[in-house]
Amino acid sequence: MAGDVGGSKTILAAFSRADDVVRPLAHAVFASREFPTLSAVVERFLEGRHLLLAGAAFGVAGPIINGRVQATNLPWLVDESALSHSLGGIPVRLLNDLEALAQAIPILPPEDLETIHPGMPVSNGTLAVVAPGTGLGEAFLVWEQGSYRALPSEGGHADFAPANELQEELLAYLRPRFGHVSCERVCSGSGIPNIYAFFKDNDRWPEPPWLTAQIAASTDPTPLIVQSGLENTSAICRASLELFVAILASEAGNLALKVLAGGGVYFGGGIPPRILPLLRLPSFSKAFTAKGRFAGLLERMPLRVITNPEAGLRGAAQFGMKTIRP
């Protein structure tokens, strides 16, 4: 069994492997917040399915410490031993959700990727992964003994670093609200409404009445803001989305510098595939490379978007099959 556990949804699947051919047996998607624990989701998944499991691996948003993780955007404490017990004692492995996504990158087919900047990749160079979804995940892969090794990170929770005066104003607006303003506060699905509120509360852009009504009726304004921004049906949504994209590019450039991502930068999560037209604009690459004396280095790095929404699930399955032997 493999799982991709996120703040919004949890994807579970069962696979069989024979002669290195992986075959899916069952698959389901669950709304994470409708369940009290991951074990409850797993129990629901297994209902009515007669599966003989050899092991399980779950990618979870949060740092894995001694086989346990407090999910970042869920009230779940996930424990390998407890999950193993609930599954009849089979081996269970937890890994960070971005580590799971990174595990998939070396095995993704070309049709699961969109290149937005080809660059000049370094052979076997380090790969960086930036994934804005409900939160902001980051990871990287290093070439080691003939293959790539995925390494997790919680870089999305490092300080938001403004790149211009407008972003400095955004930081000053958010600091009284949050104290510590991480990059996730402005570069994720949960962060987009913060950018929108910044523009609205500072009267930079008017909020049209139709949008006021739709946001009031919505439990999550992010999809509305993103869609309106893409369609350019309201100035405040367009401005919010453009600022989000600029921050995403800048943060991706920061990570690329920190790990020297000569092999390229991969954008995952639920948002990048939806906003591909904005990521293809020259302004995105310009914000990515705006690192002073190292702009030329960043210009050589390929930029790719992972379009397969279940790449993290595939990476978790890959990790489980490599580390769990029946």
Give me the pLDDT at residue 189, please: 94
pLDDT reading at 325 higher than 80: no
Give me the pLDDT at residue 204, please: 87
Residues 302 and 229 in one domain: yes
20: left (phi over 0), alpha (psi -120 to 50) or beta: left
What tokens were used for 77?
């404490």
Residues 38 and 115 in one domain: no
The 3-state DSSP class for residue 163 equals: coil
- What percentage of the chain reaches a pLDDT higher than 90? 87
pLDDT reading at 22 higher than 90: no
pLDDT reading at 10 higher than 80: yes
Average pLDDT of the residues of the chain: 94
Residues 82 and 156 in one domain: no
Whether 184 contacts 156, CB under 8 Å: yes
Give me the pLDDT at residue 326, please: 61
Residues 208 and 288 in one domain: yes
Give me the pLDDT at residue 210, please: 95
pLDDT reading at 19 higher than 80: no
Give me the pLDDT at residue 21, please: 64
Domain that holds residue 144: 110-307
Residues 223 and 143 in one domain: yes
pLDDT reading at 302 higher than 80: yes
> How many distinct structural domains can be found in the chain?
2
pLDDT reading at 161 higher than 90: yes
pLDDT reading at 286 higher than 70: yes
Cβ-based neighbour number of residue 52 at 10 Å: 9
0.85 exceeded by the pTM? Answer: yes
Give me the pLDDT at residue 188, please: 96
Residues 223 and 92 in one domain: no
What tokens were used for 55?
């092991």
What tokens were used for 29?
């998607």
Whether 116 contacts 305, CB under 8 Å: yes
**CA proximity to 240, closest of 289, 180, 195:** 195
Instruction: Give residue-wise pLDDT tens across range 194-248.
Output: 999 999 999 888 899 999 999 999 999 999 999 999 999 999 999 999 999 999 9
Residues 80 and 148 in one domain: no
- The domain spanning residue 48 has which CATH number? 3.30.420.40
